[in-house]
Amino acid sequence: MGSTQPLVGFFRHDDDLERRRTTRCPTDISICCAVREPRTGRWRQAAIRDFSVTGIALLADRLFEPGQLLTIELRNLESGVTRKYLIEVRHADICYPNDDWLHGCRFARPLRDDELRLWL
């Protein structure tokens, strides 16, 4: 989680990097993320690529379809803070080299600056 490697060249379409409308910030490695499976209600681990006040980029071992609404749970292992957020998948693409799915997601409501700082 929280790798700082650049993603250039990892996408099928490098122009996907320019979908961002707000500045994205890499997250700390001490942040855990789980995504609730809409059909089963089970929680699955996901990795966070980066954050902004309006969205989050998630890496998961399965595809979540664009337009799908998901609940995520974020946990800061250092502070113990846990929060759940509703997100909408805006786009998804396979990410090399391990073939995880990179999901560009929008928060149902933008994060406040103090909320964003919890995860950086």
> pLDDT 10s digit of each residue in the chain, 120 long?
444 444 444 444 444 454 556 666 667 668 899 999 888 999 999 999 888 899 999 999 999 999 999 999 999 999 999 999 999 999 999 887 788 999 999 999 999 989 988 888
Which amino acid, 89?
Answer: V
> Would residue 2 be called left, alpha or beta, if left means φ above 0 and alpha means ψ between -120 and 50 degrees?
left
Give the pTM. Answer: 0.76
- 9 located within any domain: no
- 87 located within any domain: yes
Contact by Cβ (8 Å): 107, 86:
yes
Give the single-character DSSP code of 111. P
The token pair at 14 is 């490098």
Number of domains, the chain: 1
- 37 located within any domain: yes
Q: Report the alpha-carbon distance of residue 50 to residue 7 in Å, rounded.
A: 11
Domain carrying residue 81: 14-111
**CATH code: domain of residue 107:** 2.40.10.220
- 118 located within any domain: no
